[in-house]
Structure 1
Amino acid sequence: MTEALGPEWTARLKPSGGLPVDVIAWRGADEERFYEDLTKLAWNIIETGFSSQVITPGKTRTSDVVWWMRQRVNDLGLGTWFQPSVSVQRQGKTEADVGEDPVIERGDVLHCDFGVTALRLNTDTQHMGYVLREGETDVPAGLKAALARSNRLQDIVFEELRPGRSGNEILKASRERMKAEGIDGTVYSHPIGLNGHGAGPMIGLWDRQEGVPGNGDHKVIANQWFSIELQATSPVAEWGGQKVRSAQEEDVVIDASGKVRWAFQRQTAFHLVR
């Protein structure tokens, strides 16, 4: 068939195997405007969930916060594409010591993974919180440094994410810069849109930091959205050098010109439970 077209036409042809993926991944300007509001709503729910409006230290369990989030989404007439999660890191305790559904105590570091679905579009957000101890008015400096380190890793992935590059190329470049800056981290970012883990290139998996064959080879396009999902692990001096995992996830929009921006904003300070 291609031979019948002649060399002047066949030279202009290229494989279209990835076209269906790009069609599903492509998002329009109207969707982009709505998505900022949807991401802001997800932020607002997390801000309230990680506050004294929902959490009473010594009484509230992590599952109570999870189900408050689910109820809030339901009350708004919206949905979510996965069960939210809330976890705790505690000074002097391992994950096993803390348990699966602990009572939240003062001094705990909180983490959530939460998403909202509306008009078939999905958000995906991971934030960090801190429960102030009696007499504390702010987060200990070591924990602030841990969050700043995951923010720096966000910067790196954000800067490497651009149209025309494959997920594996972005992952490799990001990890090289991460290691050069001495960050102990993991990158596992993904497209988002009509599906929570959407059409397009994977930028690592938590257990595939060398690259993701197939899914990671696809290239980023303009008018596509991503969840920049990652973690950085840091020793905290105030916790006797105990390592704290700062895991963050924020949605970004790539516009028609190829410019990348946060869909709403990103977390640079802990949510506080007073």
Structure 2
Amino acid sequence: MRKKTFFLGLFMVVLGLFPSFLAAQKAKYWYDLLNVIRREKFDLVLPHALRDNQVDMWIHVIKRGDPDPLELDLGGSMGYFVFTDRGGERVERAVFGVRFAEFADWSIYDYVGEEGELGKYVAERDPKKIAVNYSQWLTVADGLSYTGYQKLVKLLGPKYAQRLVSAEKVITDFRTRRVQTEIIAFAHACEIQREIMEKGLRKIKPGVTTLEEIGWWAQDQLLKHGLPISYLGCEGPGVIWSAGSSPEELDRPDYIIQRGDMLLWDWGIKYLNFGTDYKRYAYVLREGETSVPPGIQKAWETVMKARQIIKRTIKVGLTAGEALQAMVRALEKEGFIYTPFTDIGPKDREIVNSLGDSEKPGISIDCHCVGNTGNSEVAVGPSIAPFRPDRAHLRLNPNNLFAFEFIVHVWVPEWKRRFRLNLEDNAILTEQGVEFLYPPNEKIILVK
């Protein structure tokens, strides 16, 4: 009887562990998925990224202990990553100086060598233009330190050191030209965020819930998904208009959400090698209310109208600057007044307020790239915005992931001031036009 009991207990222990083994396969799936993406990017995107920019060789340097934005793209934690266009369908791949390095898949590289071999390897291929990761304006392409550059020059010798150029264009094309597995993964990240944000806003209890409680709750949801959290504070919703609270009260993270508050949540999450960035709105109904106030509803209807105009205007093949001009023309034709942002601060408020009680709605545009990061200021790719002229020349390619973002402001007579709404969702630009990867923001969430 004791023997039977022992084996029954052992069986229950094993059975209890079994689900954890199954759960562990999620980590293996993510690892395998990144390997698939990496291999497909090397096979399908990299040849065009080099040739379209007339680059024969791309050397990306990652120093040990100095994390680089392209670690997951290239699959290694340190080394000299060398990609050479030798005229065939496939780009040759090699990596040097990788002692103590972590690599996801060594087989993706054709040759692995010592640091001292780099100069000979380059000379044998005699590239006319060598792109390297330094840039004055693109953070992702500026990981090479000054001392790292000096060392690279010494390894290559004076002949090939003179052929070094910035890899900013190569890296831009390599990252922004997407394979299908990337698009699927990014869409999944967007959907995770949407579910968390919309559920979080609906959990608000007026007079009880604080702004930061929603933010920290969202961080806990990321932990449940096995995703990175922020250790620099939580990004919860903010109050952009309140029927009863003062502006000074609204700036406090421990502010208790009240009835009559209009909330805006601007957030982004990280998943694998991807980052999102978009917004959601909620309104806390006052006693007896069944919908948002007329002024807010008027602004929302105007926002929806603007989105349709912009959506049908953005086309593959335009530069970011050309797309901005086309959008402005289309919006002005429909009665909007273009109020371009300049500094995201006092000057912009002056521009908005200068319209006064004009019945015409004003609009500002910031359709920036997303994908590998949700940070609009460091994301690689074209930016359809007047305050990023250094990216206006970049062309909108098929499968361009971007933040479909703009601000509309309208005059609200009962408030005697202009009210603004900033709409943002992540989308993809295809040959057919703009397509959403998840259900976009169609309505203001009503909190009862």
Question: Greater CA deviation, 140-149 or 86-95?
Answer: 86-95
Report whether the alignment pairs 1:259 with 2:433. Answer: yes
> What's the offset of the Cα at 1:129?
0.8
Aligned partner of 2:279 in structure 1 is 126
| Structure with greater contact order relative to length (CA < 8 Å, sep ≥ 6) | 1
User: Are the aligned partners of 1:191 and 1:199 in contact in 2 as well (CA < 8 Å)?
Assistant: yes
Q: Greater Rg, structure 1 or structure 2?
A: 2
| Number of aligned positions between the proteins | 253
Indicate which of 155, 158, 162 corresponds to 2:311.
158
Aligned partner of 1:199 in structure 2 is 380
How many angstroms apart in 1 are the aligned matches of 2:247 and 2:331?
26
> What's the offset of the Cα at 1:134?
0.9
Return the structure number with greater helix share.
Answer: 2
> What's the offset of the Cα at 1:15?
4.9
User: Are the aligned partners of 2:314 and 2:327 in contact in 1 as well (CA < 8 Å)?
Assistant: no
SS of 2:391's partner is: coil
* CA shift digits 1:67-110 (9 cap, x unpaired): 21122112221136895242111137664463333321101110
How many angstroms apart in 2 are the aligned matches of 1:267 and 1:94?
28
Structure-2 change in CA distance of 1:218 and 1:50 (3 Å): same
How many angstroms apart in 1 are the aligned matches of 2:52 and 2:442?
44
How many angstroms apart in 2 are the aligned matches of 1:259 and 1:80?
34
How many angstroms apart in 1 are the aligned matches of 2:434 and 2:316?
9
Structure 2 counterparts to residues 1-274 of structure 1, below 5 A: 15-16=53-54, 18-51=169-202, 53=203, 55-79=204-228, 84-88=235-239, 89-91=241-243, 95-96=247-248, 98-101=250-253, 102-180=255-333, 181-182=335-336, 183-196=361-374, 197=376, 198-204=379-385, 208=387, 212-237=388-413, 239-255=414-430, 257=431, 259-274=433-448
How many angstroms apart in 2 are the aligned matches of 1:138 and 1:264?
25
* CA shift digits 1:6-53 (9 cap, x unpaired): xxxxxxx975473431111111112223333322221111111111x2
Query: Percent identity between the aligned chains?
Result: 23
User: Are the aligned partners of 1:253 and 1:261 in contact in 2 as well (CA < 8 Å)?
Assistant: yes
SS of 2:389's partner is: coil
User: Are the aligned partners of 1:127 and 1:247 in contact in 2 as well (CA < 8 Å)?
Assistant: no
User: Are the aligned partners of 1:21 and 1:200 in contact in 2 as well (CA < 8 Å)?
Assistant: yes
RMSD: 2.4
Structure-2 change in CA distance of 1:32 and 1:22 (3 Å): same
> What's the offset of the Cα at 1:221?
0.5
SS of 1:50's partner is: helix
Unaligned runs of 5+ in 1: 1-12
User: Are the aligned partners of 2:172 and 2:380 in contact in 1 as well (CA < 8 Å)?
Assistant: yes
TM-score (norm 2): 0.52
How many angstroms apart in 1 are the aligned matches of 2:274 and 2:52?
31
Structure-2 change in CA distance of 1:67 and 1:235 (3 Å): farther
Structure-2 change in CA distance of 1:170 and 1:85 (3 Å): farther
Question: Greater CA deviation, 118-127 or 94-103?
Answer: 94-103
Structure-2 change in CA distance of 1:67 and 1:189 (3 Å): same
Unaligned runs of 5+ in 2: 1-50, 55-167, 337-360
> What's the offset of the Cα at 1:213?
2.2
SS of 2:373's partner is: coil
